[in-house]
Amino acid sequence: MEIAFYNGEFLQEVDEKIIPIQERGHQFGDGVYEVVRVYNNKPFMLEEHLDRFQKSAEAILLQLPYTRQELTEIIDQGVKRSQEKNVDVYFQVTRGIAPRLHLFPNTKAVFSMTIKPSRPIDPAKKESGVAVLLLEDERWKNCYIKSLNLLPNVIAKQHAASRGCDEAILVKDGSITEGSSSNLFVIKDGTIYTTPATKGILHGITRLAVFQLAEKMELPIKEQHFTEEFLLQADEAFITSTTQEILPINKVDEFEIPTHYTITKKLQNEFLKLTK
Ligand code: PDD
């Protein structure tokens, strides 16, 4: 069953018409969000997601309306209500409901959440990889904030889809930052490379899981800025996100990327064990 929660209450239906017209999330995108995947009733890396949620909220000077304990309980209650074992939990907080003025209103932040059965990942993509399209990163300087403002991301994703690609890989000043909704890893001569966790990218939780796995598996992993050429010459490359997990890349623009995926497959297998 799909579940929705808005401003302190669980709703009857997930598409109930509920958002007041003067919601700042609606009018300004004035808020931040998280996506957590629940595997077999257990939210994956929930503490790390809640840490990032708190950091995002602080970065936009927004006081969360619930304590960490309360947030955990609301998520837990929602998952129980859904009566599903494997769900995607989306939650966001906005600066509340107030007449449309740019200045911060003196209102309480509004928390909302939806819970839906996990969107399945196409096994063919897991196995054989996805195509990606290189595009200019047109976003602002604070992409570490998981902001509701995703306009450049959705436009980039749409461009990628219109060219038959699954993801847009964003390039800023000659360096690759990340995907429109994922982090990027490149493998060259046995070492795994990914862009450093600066303010210019989202510090992905799946990215963090890959670091932990690589360390456990004694695979060399490095944070380093790299160019499009480096990606094109990769031995393997993959993207990561909560909802896509670890997906190999088989094509960048019109160029093929090797598809043996030796190290990527090992990481996928270990990730599977983590989430089982
Ligand atoms: N997106 N980079 C961007 C720009 C993202 O939007 C995401 C996730 C990631 C990966 O982060 P994580 O591993 O914590 O999911 C990286 C989510 C899934 C979304 O917006 O739906």
CB 181 near ligand 1, within 6 Å: yes
pLDDT tens digits, 173-185 = 999 999 999 999 9
pLDDT value at 15 more than 90: no
Residue with the smallest CA separation from ligand 1 atom 19 is 181
CB 20 within 8 A of CB 125: no
Q: Which of 80, 108, 146, 188 is catalytic?
A: 146
Residue 12: pLDDT band (50, 70, 90) is confident
pLDDT tens digits, 122-137 = 999 999 999 999 999 9
pLDDT value at 73 more than 90: yes
d(CA 213, CA 222): 13
How far is residue 184 from each of residues 43, 62, 194, 236, measured CA to CA in Å?
23, 29, 6, 11
Q: What is the CA radius of gyration of the chain?
A: 19
Residue with the smallest CA separation from ligand 1 atom 2 is 182
Residue 220: pLDDT band (50, 70, 90) is very high
First to last CA, the chain: 22
Strand bridging mode 191-194 / 221-223: parallel
Return the pLDDT at 13.
85
d(CA 236, CA 240): 14
Domain residue extents for the chain: 3-117, 123-275
Residue 105: pLDDT band (50, 70, 90) is very high
Q: Does domain 3-117 have CATH number 3.30.470.10?
A: yes
d(CA 246, CA 230): 20
CB 78 within 8 A of CB 115: yes
Return the pLDDT at 163.
98
Q: Cα(181) to centroid of ligand 1, in Å?
A: 5
pLDDT tens digits, 239-257 = 999 999 999 999 999 999 9
Residue with the smallest CA separation from ligand 1 atom 18 is 242
What does the mean pLDDT of the chain come to? Answer: 97
CB 56 near ligand 1, within 6 Å: no
Residues pairing with 34 in the sheet:
91
Residue with the smallest CA separation from ligand 1 atom 16 is 182
CB 240 near ligand 1, within 6 Å: yes
d(CA 211, CA 247): 16
- Other beta carbons less than 10 A from residue 260's beta carbon: 10
Q: Cα(215) to centroid of ligand 1, in Å?
A: 22
CB 165 within 8 A of CB 129: no
Which candidate, 59, 60, 58, 36, places its Cα nearest to that of 48? 36
Q: Which of 87, 147, 183 to mutate to test the pocket of ligand 1 (most atoms within 8 A of CB)?
A: 183
d(CA 188, CA 191): 5
pLDDT value at 24 more than 90: yes
Residue with the smallest CA separation from ligand 1 atom 9 is 182
Q: Which two structure tokens, joined as six digits, stand for 52?
A: 């990032």
Return the pLDDT at 71.
98
Q: Which of 148, 181, 198 to mutate to test the pocket of ligand 1 (most atoms within 8 A of CB)?
A: 181
pTM of the model: 0.97
Whether 273 sits among the annotated catalytic residues: the reply is no
d(CA 181, CA 168): 8
Q: Tell me, which fold does domain 123-275 have in CATH?
A: D-amino Acid Aminotransferase; Chain A, domain 2 (3.20.10)
d(CA 251, CA 254): 7
d(CA 52, CA 71): 13
CB 147 near ligand 1, within 6 Å: no
**Distance of alpha carbon 83 from its chain centroid, rounded?**
24
How far is residue 161 from each of residues 50, 222, 272, measured CA to CA in Å?
31, 30, 27
pLDDT tens digits, 49-67 = 999 999 999 999 999 999 9
* 49 CA closest ligand 1 atom index: 14
d(CA 270, CA 276): 10
| Cβ neighbourhood burial of 231 (10 Å; 0-12, 13-18, 19+) | buried
pLDDT value at 17 more than 90: no
